[in-house]
Chain A
Amino acid sequence: MITSTDLKDPLITLVGPPNSGKTTLFNLLSGKNYKTVNYPGSTVEYYTSRILSKFNIKAELVDSPGIVSLIPESIDEKVAVDSLYSHPKLGTPDLVITTIDSCQLSRHLLLPKQLISAGFNVIIVLTMTDILAKRGLKISERKLSKALNCDVVVLNGRSKQGIENLIQATNSNLERIGVTDKKNIIPYNSLKNRKDLIDTFKEIEEIINDVYENVREDEKIYLNSANRELKILQDGATINGFTPDEITLKIDRVLLHRFWGFLVFIVVMGLTFTSIFWIAQPLMDLVDELFTNLNSLVLENFEPGWFTFLVSDGIISGAGSVLVFVPQIIILFVILGLLEDSGYLARGAMLIDKPLSKIGLNGRSFVPMLSGFACAIPAIIAARTIPNRKERLFTIFIIPLMSCSARLPVYALLIAYLIPRDKPWLGGILLGGIYFFSIVSSIVVAWIINKFSKRIFSAEGSSSFILELPSYRVPKISAVINHTYNSSKEYILRAGPMILGFSLVLWFLTFFPNIDPQVETEGFTSGQIQNLERAERLEHSYASDLGKLIQPFMSPIGMDWRIGVSLISAFAAREVFVSSLSLTFKVTSEDDEEHSTLLSSLRNAKKEGTGEKLFTVATSIGLIVFFIFALQCLSTVAVSRKETGGWKIPLLQVFIFTALAYLMTFITVNGLRFFGIQ
């Protein structure tokens, strides 16, 4: 809510070219933790925050997606330009802070020049000066400031060096402007004329010739020794033409090699997904042990009864069964984070542009699709960076097929079930295989859907792929850890209440209405009586009524209603599947042992009536296949609706992917049986 005092405070908007350090600066000034990534296009939405009180600036600060110029070509750029001209809530900014990568001055000055001639009050922040200094160069703030007639501040976003100067400049600018002044902002239409662009760049080239200076002798001590070799770049002739970062060129000679490049790409992706399983294994065992102990503690200290069942079978096992997979999710986030901050993602996008364009996608679909392996929701929003509307909608359409982290618990459980305990490496290979299969099948699905793309997406326009390849950088570990911490916390906070809620609902469905079943007690031990009571109670429970409704759908794919109930609860969120399975099977399990793990209750589960084993190899693989395809996530549907601006695409997604999941599971289970694998 905006109160009247808020409105009086000035509005400062951060804009700048992609990957120039806006979000890093925003986090610094606001104390927030938004994600910073070495990829042009990591921010796709605007964020607002108050500036931290320690900086003594009473103002609202806005972070925006990167823009190349004031004329937007994609949705994320439109968000940024809109936040300049008419912020949906706050109006026009009083002051614009624009971050400029000092290694790319001759390209990045275009935007501030446009901003200044459009009439905005601008402060220029030169970022990445530490990298420029390694080349033995620096930029004269004074000369640049004089040439552009606005304040220029040097700032290292990573080390916070120079922040006082920015605060000072901001304060003096705000004083000078006077918050009540009416601003005269010219809409930037004149730039539609391409001749103007050429002229602007000519002006920039003149400025550039003047502002570079050699790092002075006495300052050189601060540079590390390796940089001295790069001093060659100081000679005047290179300044205007400026060659790209030498180390980057060397690395790219391998990573973008015509033959090796693609091979490296495949190896990098493969390692990313297989390592999740084997690195996480010891950690998983630890968490598993913790919850098993907690469970036996409850069982030892409470009277057996419905309450104890609820706490141990429902809540503890449920929560445990999902928390066991937190290490894997953490590792996935760390690896993706390292990849993102290294600068490799833009190369990946370039390498895969050609194959993706064959199936109607774009190289720019790569990063949203890759982040879809963590979670589909930010991935769908990240598709905003794709300028072409059809390609953007298609990318959104296909993202739910990426195996998101919520599916990891399901895969991991079923893999652990399928493989012998003494061969954990087999699990890594199997998980890699699942990812490989899911990628291959999404390509096939995309290829088929592309045939109907005119009908589904009803949008055309020219396709384009122009992407800046940022210099390689050593990933900033603290940023990666920070982001991993936040995402994992979010995962637990999101999954936690959902699991608790569903545990309660499922427990209710399996216990009621027959809470106190009457059974023959004569001649039975107390353990046997308990089992009889359980069976009797379940047989007349709401869950079994519900189950009888879905049984006809489950039988063809070799499963029973108990899996069906878990699959239905998984539609709220996939994580819930494992906890539901854990609860239903423990409640219905016939084995005497109370401390049984989820795995052992799955092993002992029998089909009702026939007494055949329920979780056979075929059904377990079938379940994995089901999860690869099915869209079981309400939040994804909601985001897809919002980002595509209608119900057509989300509904098609739910329908097509769920039908496909059922069909593929049917084929898998019956196919395996046909070849004699039960």
Chain B
Amino acid sequence: MRTAAELNYREKGIISEIDFSHPSSKRIMEHGFTPGQTIELICKSTFNDPIAISIRGTLIAIRKSEAGCIKLK
């Protein structure tokens, strides 16, 4: 299954679930990453990490290691 960390530049995806075992999962959900939401990878930083994802109309910068717990459909 793909995760948000594997999105390409300007690619969209729909969240299927959040991996609860990740220590950041609660904070990620509090920021609005919940199942069913459409996300889009807006840009990547120069070193490819962190990435900026658009969620619910806001840009959130997040490390790839953390975006990895956002599972996509």
Q: Residues of A with Cβ closer than 8 Å to B?
A: 68-69, 71, 73, 103-104, 106-107, 110, 194, 197-198, 201-202, 241-244, 248-249, 252-253, 256-259, 261-262, 346, 349-351, 353-355, 363, 462, 464-469
Determine whether the beta carbon of A466 is less than 8 Å from that of B32. no
Determine whether the beta carbon of B50 is less than 8 Å from that of A242. no
Chain B 18-48 against A: per-residue CB contact (8 Å), 1 yes, 0 no? 1010011111111110110010001111111
Collect the chain B residues with CB atoms within 8 Å of residue A253's CB.
43
Minimum CB distance partner of B60 in chain A:
A468
Determine whether the beta carbon of A104 is less than 8 Å from that of B52. no
Determine whether the beta carbon of B45 is less than 8 Å from that of A351. yes
Determine whether the beta carbon of A258 is less than 8 Å from that of B61. no
Determine whether the beta carbon of B43 is less than 8 Å from that of A465. no
Question: Would you call B62 an interface residue if the criterion is a C-beta within 8 Å of the partner chain's C-beta atoms?
Answer: yes
What separation, in Å, do the CA atoms of A483 and B31 have in the docked complex?
A: 30
Complex A-B, nearest 10 residue pairs according to Cβ-Cβ distance, in ascending order = A242-B57, A262-B46, A354-B47, A350-B61, A469-B59, A107-B32, A256-B43, A106-B56, A462-B23, A201-B34
- Interchain CB contact (< 8 A) of A261 among B25, B45, B59: B45
Among A68, A201, A355, max chain B CB count under 10 A is at: A201
- Interchain CB contact (< 8 A) of B45 among A106, A107, A202, A350: A350
Collect the chain A residues with CB atoms within 8 Å of residue B31's CB.
68, 107, 466, 468
- Interchain CB contact (< 8 A) of B61 among A194, A198, A465: A465
Determine whether the beta carbon of B63 is less than 8 Å from that of A198. no
What separation, in Å, do the CA atoms of A460 and B70 have in the docked complex?
A: 24
What separation, in Å, do the CA atoms of A256 and B30 have in the docked complex?
A: 25
Question: Would you call B16 an interface residue if the criterion is a C-beta within 8 Å of the partner chain's C-beta atoms?
Answer: no
Collect the chain A residues with CB atoms within 8 Å of residue B26's CB.
71, 194, 197
What separation, in Å, do the CA atoms of A289 and B34 have in the docked complex?
A: 64
Minimum CB distance partner of A106 in chain B:
B56
What separation, in Å, do the CA atoms of A350 and B34 have in the docked complex?
A: 23
Collect the chain B residues with CB atoms within 8 Å of residue A69's CB.
30
Tell me whether A256 and B27 are in contact in the complex, defined as CB-CB below 8 angstroms, given that A261-B45, A350-B61, A353-B45 are known contacts.
no
Tell me whether A261 and B60 are in contact in the complex, defined as CB-CB below 8 angstroms, given that A197-B30, A350-B52, A462-B23 are known contacts.
no
- Interchain CB contact (< 8 A) of B29 among A106, A198, A353: A198
- Interchain CB contact (< 8 A) of A346 among B38, B56, B61: B61
Determine whether the beta carbon of A243 is less than 8 Å from that of B57. yes
Collect the chain A residues with CB atoms within 8 Å of residue B59's CB.
244, 248, 252, 468-469
Tell me whether A256 and B34 are in contact in the complex, defined as CB-CB below 8 angstroms, given that A198-B29, A351-B45 are known contacts.
no
Collect the chain B residues with CB atoms within 8 Å of residue A104's CB.
56-58
What separation, in Å, do the CA atoms of A198 and B15 have in the docked complex?
A: 12
Determine whether the beta carbon of B30 is less than 8 Å from that of A353. no
Collect the chain A residues with CB atoms within 8 Å of residue B56's CB.
104, 106-107, 241-242
What separation, in Å, do the CA atoms of A355 and B48 have in the docked complex?
A: 11
Known: A256-B44, A464-B24. 16 other contacts (CB 8 A): A106-B57, A110-B30, A197-B34, A243-B57, A244-B57, A252-B42, A252-B52, A253-B43, A256-B52, A258-B46, A259-B46, A262-B46, A351-B46, A354-B47, A462-B23, A465-B66
Collect the chain A residues with CB atoms within 8 Å of residue B52's CB.
252, 256, 350, 469
What separation, in Å, do the CA atoms of A346 and B23 have in the docked complex?
A: 23
- Interchain CB contact (< 8 A) of A68 among B25, B30, B61, B63: B30
Determine whether the beta carbon of B57 is less than 8 Å from that of A194. no
